[in-house]
């Protein structure tokens, strides 16, 4: 222990290290072996920092307490606490501030279902600390949830060159006009994907290339390009629907089978003079799609087109 500068543990862990079930006695025994700073985690009470001699009574020990939250899951709380503590410690901030970070990180993780995926980012943590007294349920705070979602993305795309061939109705109409079978559309989509690959290679766009392809006729193309480092968008709207309808039913059921790297693309037609009922109907469905994406972890690309004429109630 004499080689350590910092030792962090729960009361039970210090009991084991110090050979006593009395926490202060155990800490004194540990102190005999090391001059490291000792940080004792005390559960819902918070934590205490011991830089020198160990006090004889808890009344002489400062407790760094955090905001109480509803505990949904204890997994990951210790790791989260350590990450917050080290943020302050490694940046030469005060122990007061380091413990504030640590307690907040632990609170955020235990208030969510998940371990590593629940860990807060710096922006998220700072936002929580600025409002901690007013947030009783971090797991239900819209701004925190949004920050967690957008600051934990695995892939960032500063620039994209996307080839869209998610057309469905247009290609069906063309096939009908020339007397061709709809079965010819999936092979066409594969040719379009190959063309996109060749264009990306020639233009040096391998790291910022993408496609928009549909499930209806482009599933083979989607399967072929998945896992290749491309940005992949998939439409969920029924082509031409106004008010908005989803093509393959319930969005939550659809996303269960989608690879995580696939992006949900939802196009909606809109007109400033839309009837209120139409506007509210479309907004409700877009909100449903967004919430499903938040639940599944998929990104959402929402687009709007100006409708040729405003929607009216039937």
pLDDT in tens, 121-150: 999 999 999 999 899 889 899 999 999 999
Residues 6+ apart with CB under 8 A from 134: none
Helix axes 122-131, 77-90, angle to 10 degrees: 90
Decide if 84 contacts 105 (C-beta within 8 A): yes
- Beta bridge partners, 262, equal 232
Provide the total of helices (H) and of strands (E) in the chain, helices listed first. Answer: 11, 8
- Helix or strand (DSSP H, E) at 105: helix 95-110
Structure tokens at 46: 């918070």
- Closest Cα to residue 88, out of 102, 78, 98, 100? 98
Measured over the CA atoms of residue 167, residue 170, residue 174 and residue 180, the dihedral's sign is: positive
Decide if 152 contacts 108 (C-beta within 8 A): no
- Helix or strand (DSSP H, E) at 111: none
What is the reported pLDDT for 180? 95
Question: Per-residue pLDDT for 26 more than 70?
Answer: yes
Structure tokens at 153: 């993305």
- Closest Cα to residue 88, out of 105, 80, 100? 100
Gyration radius of the chain's alpha carbons: 27
Structure tokens at 307: 């409708």
- Beta bridge partners, 6, equal 37
Give CA separation, 258 vs 149, 236, 254, in Å.
18, 12, 7
Per-residue pLDDT band at 61 (split at 50, 70, 90): very high
Give CA separation, 110 vs 9, 157, 193, in Å.
17, 31, 45
| Higher pLDDT pick, 29 / 139 | 29
Strand-strand pairing, 300-306 and 262-270: parallel
pLDDT in tens, 262-274: 999 999 999 999 9
User: What percent of the chain has pLDDT above 90?
Assistant: 83
If one counts every other C-beta atom within 10 angstroms of the C-beta of residue 2, the result is 7
Residues 6+ apart with CB under 8 A from 118: 73, 76, 80, 108, 109, 112
Length of the chain: 314
Measured over the CA atoms of residue 207, residue 212, residue 213 and residue 215, the dihedral's sign is: positive
Structure tokens at 284: 């409700």
Q: What is the mean pLDDT of the chain?
A: 94
- Name all domains of the chain by residue range, CATH numbers in brackets: 6-151 (3.40.1190.20), 161-306 (3.20.20.70)
Distance CA 155, CA 15 (A): 43
Strand-strand pairing, 47-50 and 37-41: antiparallel
pLDDT in tens, 64-95: 998 888 888 888 889 999 999 999 999 999 99
């Amino acid at each position: 222990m004499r080689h350590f500068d910092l030792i962090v543990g729960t009361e039970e862990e210090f009991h084991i290290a110090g050979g006593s079930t009395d926490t202060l006695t155990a800490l004194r025994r540990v102190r005999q072996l090391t001059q490291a700073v000792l940080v004792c985690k005390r559960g819902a009470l918070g934590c205490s920092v011991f830089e020198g001699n160990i006090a004889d009574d808890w009344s002489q020990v400062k407790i760094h307490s955090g905001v109480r939250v509803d505990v949904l899951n204890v997994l990951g709380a210790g790791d989260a606490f350590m990450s917050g503590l080290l943020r302050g410690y490694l940046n030469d901030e005060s122990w007061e501030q380091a413990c504030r970070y640590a307690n907040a990180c632990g609170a955020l993780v235990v208030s969510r279902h998940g371990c590593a995926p629940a860990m807060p980012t710096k922006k998220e943590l700072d936002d929580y600390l600025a409002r901690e007294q007013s947030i009783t349920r971090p797991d239900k705070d819209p701004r925190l949830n949004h920050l967690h979602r957008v600051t934990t993305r695995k892939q960032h795309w500063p620039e994209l060159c996307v080839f869209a061939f998610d057309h469905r109705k247009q290609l069906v109409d063309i096939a009908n006009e020339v007397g061709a079978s709809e079965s010819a559309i999936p092979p066409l989509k594969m040719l379009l994907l190959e063309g996109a690959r060749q264009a990306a290679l020639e233009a040096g766009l391998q790291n910022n290339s993408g496609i928009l392809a549909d499930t209806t006729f482009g599933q083979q193309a989607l399967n072929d390009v998945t896992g290749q480092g491309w940005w992949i968008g998939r439409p969920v709207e029924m082509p031409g629907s106004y008010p908005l309808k989803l093509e393959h039913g319930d969005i939550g059921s659809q996303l269960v089978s989608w690879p995580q790297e696939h992006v949900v693309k939802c196009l909606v037609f809109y007109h400033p003079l839309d009837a209120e009922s139409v506007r509210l109907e479309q907004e409700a469905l877009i909100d449903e799609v967004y919430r499903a994406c938040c639940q599944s972890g998929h990104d959402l690309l929402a687009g709007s087109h100006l409708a040729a004429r405003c929607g009216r109630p039937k």
